[in-house]
Amino acid sequence: MGKPSMTLMQWIDEKYGTNVDVCDNQHKELFDRINALNDSLTDGNRAHIGNRLDSLVDYVIAHFETEERMMEERGYNGLDAHRQEHDRLLLTCTDLQDRFHSGEMDIGESTMAFIKNWFDHHIPVIDKSYGPDLSN
Ligand SMILES: [Fe+2]
Ligand SMILES: [Fe+2]
């Protein structure tokens, strides 16, 4: 029995489902990695936290590439605006990694709240919009 941990991102089909299986599955994996990062904060081990941060960001990069490739293939007309949202987050992620790994900052509740809020807006509002075009 491990200690109970707070689940930061809880998958809810009605809220997050885009009707595109590939994307839904990747979003679930993203949630797992966000939760893993959040859980690692409790023991305060920086190496551990850094690994989970990097693994989350790696997955965010791969996920954004998947979405953008699919939107390109379907000629989705919201691609440019969508890509701008992605690019903005990627800049924030790089900055976060730099500052964490240089020891300039630690990851705490406010960083996790930022990540949660970003995906809580992006998936239901921005990602869901591609559902009709990207689903079969
Ligand atoms: Fe997206
Ligand atoms: Fe997404």
- Cα distances (angstroms) measured from residue 17 to each of 40, 58, 79: 27, 22, 19
Give a yes or no: residue 25 inside a domain: yes
CA of 123 to the centre of ligand 2 (A): 6
pTM for this prediction: 0.94
* Residues, Cβ < 5 Å to ion ligand 1: 67, 127
CA of 75 to the centre of ligand 1 (A): 15
DSSP-derived letter for residue 2 is P
Name the residue range of residue 57's domain: 21-134
Q: Indicate which ligand has the atom closest to the C-alpha of 18.
A: 2
Give a yes or no: residue 2 inside a domain: no
pLDDT tens digits, 10-52:
999 999 999 999 999 999 999 999 999 999 999 899 999 999 9
pLDDT score for 3: 53
pLDDT score for 5: 58
Structural domains counted in the chain: 1
Domain with residue 69: its CATH number is 1.20.120.50
Terminal Cα-to-Cα distance of the chain (whole angstroms): 43
pLDDT tens digits, 92-126:
999 999 999 999 999 999 999 999 999 999 999 99
Say whether pLDDT at 2 is over 60. no
Give a yes or no: residue 29 inside a domain: yes
